[in-house]
Structure 1
Amino acid sequence: MIKTPCFTQFNLISIMFLFLLAGCSESEVSTQKQNEPRAVKLITIGDESQSKTLTYPATIDTINSSKLAFQVSGKLETLNVIAAQNVKKGDVIAVLEQRNFINEVKSSKIQFETADNDYQRGLKLAKDGVISQRDIEQLKSKKEVAESQYDSAQKALSDSKIIAPYDAIVAEVPVKQLENISAGQHVVTLFGKGEMEAVVNIPASIVATVDSKQNNVASVILQDVSTPPIPATFRRANLEADSASQTYEVRFAFAVPNNLNILPGMNASLKLTREASSASTRLLVPTFAIFEQNGEHFVWTVDAQTMQASKTPVTIENGIGEQLIVTDGLSAGDVIVGAGANYVTEGMKVRPWTKA
């Protein structure tokens, strides 16, 4: 005869005890997880009103750069410069053969003087009624044509010489003496002396946070040259960003020291120091760290001792972008919750998030 196994009272009590132990264990684990600090990204706020120095690679360029040419054609009779030569304002750089230009001036001058004498004589005859008003108009027209031709001849004579428009260094001379030159043909390139430019490309993120009320001090440091930084001033900027690099071309002017020979194309660095502003404190906070409730803005600040989060109201300036300016509610050095702020509650303990 087969006997069916059955649970005794002792077996039933043992099983119930095991279930009770398991339930207690799961409850303890759940409570332990709830008490663990939440991992969040912590951000330490910096004071943007304090002095901050940024350095950008720069390329040297000229402020004054000219490609000079004759406005008339002729044979290059005189060439007074070579590449790398210094010239002063008013120096004669090149001259075309003068004979034809001088002869044209003399000829047109005689024609003008003759036409002017005829006109003046005609005016006297007209008063006596010897010639008509129509004759006077014809004499006047001839005089004006002759005068125009005389002026053109004088201008052509003046244009047959190239004069240095400013103190400069000769960069290029692509022609030779006695060569036949056409009107408008490139004869010489000049680079102005005295002032030059440092050209830099500044990221859009920096341009967006520049305050025109701040004192920005710029200086140029030449590459591989042991000289003190050269003071520079903002000159102009291209307000259209480069589509590929999202940078803006900005130019800073500086005076060339007398003991240096600085040329376009040289490499340098531009140091831009944003001086402290005593008028107000500028704190930049990532947009994702700020949240809004009932029309007010808040951030989660973290106590460095207890690592507990606290909801703190802040005042921000109107703006758009990845960062916003906080004018009240925070101080430089405060620690706030960045990524993970949506999962934080008042008094919750947090810990810095670290990449596994």
Structure 2
Amino acid sequence: MNKPLYGMAGLLLMAGVLTGCNLSEAQNSAAESLASVKVETLGELVPAISRRFVGRVDAVSSVDLSFQVGGRLTELPVQQGRLLPKGSLLAALDARDYQLALEQAQIQQQQTLRDLNRKRSLLDNNSVSRAVVEEAQDQFRLAQLRVESAQRNLSYTRITAPSDVLITRRLADRFVNLQPGTPVVRVQDVTEFRVHISVPEDLVRRVSSPELVKAELLLPGGEDQRMLLEYREHATEPDQVVQTYQVTFGFERPKDLNLLPGMTATVLVTAAPQLRGADQLDVPVAALNSAADGSFYLWVFDPQTSEVRQRSVRVGVMGGERVQLLSGVQAGEQVITAGTSRLREGMRVRPFSHF
């Protein structure tokens, strides 16, 4: 009668052993999954930072061109969306009145020149005073100025492309009478393209130094199609809402790609590693942990034992995604910068360089 009981007890004991083995295996598997952490050596090169930003392509400038004189618009040989080289005719007024004014000024100039030469001859014979000759000289100079003004007004009857321009919009129609300053055509300077991105404060210091950063434009069609960008300028005042700074890059207008101002583009910014000295130790903000009393601590990794130890630290100024360390650690020590939430004192971990 006892054999069935012994048999039942044996089965329960075996089930408990198997359950304990399964729990132990699960715990070991969980421990192994927590054993990988990200480690950074203090005082060494901070790894290169690569970030992607959505930027907006823009022209160097966008202006509305107008005539400096009034008249009837007779020529407007432009099409919206067309790219025209420097010096191309964009618009022209009826120039006949200005041509007549120039001819009249030239005739008056010739008359005053003849009068001046005649009075100079009389002065040589002492027939007129020097004051009469000087007045003739003034009249000749005034006639010259009228000719120059008429020539300038005649040149103002034509608008030519000041550079390689993209015709954005026609703002007037042919055969209408225009007043001086009336916009006729809107153009964009596309001698090169610009792309604007907004970057956080921890990166704007590097972006403004071309030797510390490399910016690339990712062209549509694949990750392997990239165009190197050149730094142009950056805003010194942050956006009031998101606290980012606008940085502008320039690049040559692609010949085989229909890229237009106003389009969005992806910009890959890779910041070069920077050397941080022993007196300028800092760590990513994610590496800091807060104690119950409000103090901060780090997890320090011992490469000889592969164990981690908790270390209290005093922090300084926070700049972007990194915070300065004032005391508690030394240059050359290794700290855990990611995977700290489930660490415990003396835990063995396996470091790796990147995710």
Query: Does TM, normalized by the shorter one, top 0.5?
Result: yes
Cα drift, residue 133 of structure 1: 2.3
Stretches of structure 1 that go unaligned for 5 or more consecutive residues are: 1-41, 291-297, 340-347, 352-356
Distance in 2 of aligned mates of 1:144 and 1:105: 16
Quickly say closer, same or farther: Cα 1:300–1:220, change in 2 above 3 A: closer
Distance in 2 of aligned mates of 1:194 and 1:227: 25
Match of 2:82 among 82, 85, 88: 85
Quickly say closer, same or farther: Cα 1:150–1:255, change in 2 above 3 A: same
Letter of the 1:145 counterpart:
L
Match of 2:255 among 258, 277, 282: 258
Quickly say closer, same or farther: Cα 1:196–1:48, change in 2 above 3 A: farther
1:118 aligns to what? 115
Distance in 1 of aligned mates of 2:147 and 2:219: 53
Distance in 2 of aligned mates of 1:172 and 1:308: 67
Question: Is the CA contact 1:214–1:276 (under 8 Å) kept in the aligned structure 2?
Answer: no
Distance in 2 of aligned mates of 1:210 and 1:299: 32
Letter of the 1:54 counterpart:
R
Match of 1:186 among 183, 187, 196: 183
Cα drift, residue 232 of structure 1: 0.7
How many residue pairs match? The answer is 294
Stretches of structure 2 that go unaligned for 5 or more consecutive residues are: 1-36, 290-295, 348-355
The structure having more radius of gyration, on CA atoms, is 1
**Alignment deviations for residues 72-118 of structure 1 (CA, whole Å, 9 cap, x no partner):** 10001111112112212111111100110110000000011111221
2:335 aligns to what? 334
Cα drift, residue 249 of structure 1: 1.1
Question: Is the CA contact 1:56–1:201 (under 8 Å) kept in the aligned structure 2?
Answer: yes
SS in 1 for 2:260: coil
Distance in 2 of aligned mates of 1:222 and 1:80: 33
Question: Is the CA contact 2:95–2:154 (under 8 Å) kept in the aligned structure 1?
Answer: yes
- Greater shift in the superposed pair: 198-207 or 257-266: 198-207
Cα drift, residue 321 of structure 1: 4.0
SS in 2 for 1:264: coil
Distance in 2 of aligned mates of 1:333 and 1:283: 12
CA root-mean-square deviation: 3.9
SS in 2 for 1:193: strand
**Alignment deviations for residues 250-306 of structure 1 (CA, whole Å, 9 cap, x no partner):** 10101122111211110111110113357979863268969xxxxxxx975534644
Question: Is the CA contact 1:221–1:269 (under 8 Å) kept in the aligned structure 2?
Answer: yes
Letter of the 2:300 counterpart:
V
Alignment of 1:213-228 (within 5 A): 214-222=211-219, 228=225
Amino-acid identity (%): 23
Question: Is the CA contact 1:223–1:267 (under 8 Å) kept in the aligned structure 2?
Answer: no
Alignment of 1:48-59 (within 5 A): 49-59=46-56
What TM-score, normalized to structure 1?
0.70
Quickly say closer, same or farther: Cα 1:141–1:225, change in 2 above 3 A: farther
2:127 aligns to what? 130
- Greater shift in the superposed pair: 92-101 or 204-213: 204-213
- Greater shift in the superposed pair: 147-156 or 212-221: 212-221
